[in-house]
Amino acid sequence: MELGLKNKKVLVTGSTKGIGKAIAAEFAREGAGVVINGRSEADVQRVVSELRAKFKDAGIHGIAADIAKEADREALFKKLPTVDILVNNMEIFEPMEYFDITDEIWEKFFSVNVMSGNALCKFYLPGMLKRDFGRIVFIASEEALMPSGQMPQYSMTKTMNLSLAKSLSKLTKGTNVTVNTVMPGSTLTEGVEEMLENMYKNSSVPKSERKKDFMKNHRPLSQIQRLIRPEEIGRFVAFVASPYSLSFSGAALRLDGGLVPTIF
């Protein structure tokens, strides 16, 4: 299905790996002008080169910036004053015991996972409204609705993403601008691979069985009983950002493999 994204200008934050990279790749596949973002210039240029080689009809560029830092955001805004589509994907996560989480850690997660994306929305949303087209997509998590208890500092910020997106959607009423949140379930990213390595480093579970064991014992409510592939999320986000998705805004869109129970 052609999604009508050709030549749309797209910024995907935190797109040098994992879900962000997969999202950027799907926009590139659709012929959009994609801006790759990450903190490392080397990582950004590596992904730009990789996607340019794969999607020759897409306009792919890179801007290295730590968007949690105001100075870096200001530099980004000067280089990229307008976008048609903003995907707030950049985040940090780490399993932690509640009583080990300091105030500094709470503040760091709030700053990176919430305030950085909020700053981008505050800058780009007025232009979208003026041009009467735009898409803002927050990448949250099933942890926003059903915290596992394994990383409360992360879960809190994902719930905040839902609330912020809903509030911003109220500003777009009657326009062709939408603001939505996509909530993936547990996804096979580099970060999750590292998390599993740490979780099972003293375990007798064979490496080949760790993903299955994790889903069975840590995500037992999942209906698909496997980790979601990043490209599955990428394709869905591309549709949510497309002109065909105007029928929903302010929505919390679940892509969790049936992990979060639904009450009918």
Picking from 250, 254, 87, 90, the residue whose alpha carbon sits closest to that of residue 180 is: 250
Picking from 63, 160, 174, the residue whose alpha carbon sits closest to that of residue 121 is: 160
> H helices within 10-151, ranges in order?
18-29, 41-54, 70-79, 103-110, 116-131
User: DSSP character for 172?
Assistant: G
- Whole-angstrom distance, CA of residue 80 vs CA of residue 238: 20
Alpha-carbon distance values, 174 to 57, 70, 137, 168, 253 (Å): 33, 32, 18, 13, 21
CB-CB contact of 160 with 114 (8 Å) = yes
Residue 34, helix vs strand vs coil: strand
Residue type at position 106: W
CA angle 140, 146, 148 (to 5 degrees): 100
Alpha-carbon distance values, 252 to 79, 102, 114, 162, 249 (Å): 31, 29, 16, 7, 9
Told to judge if 124 belongs to the known catalytic residues of this protein, a careful annotator would answer no
Q: Give me the catalytic one of 98, 154, 200, 244.
A: 154
Residues serving a catalytic function are 154
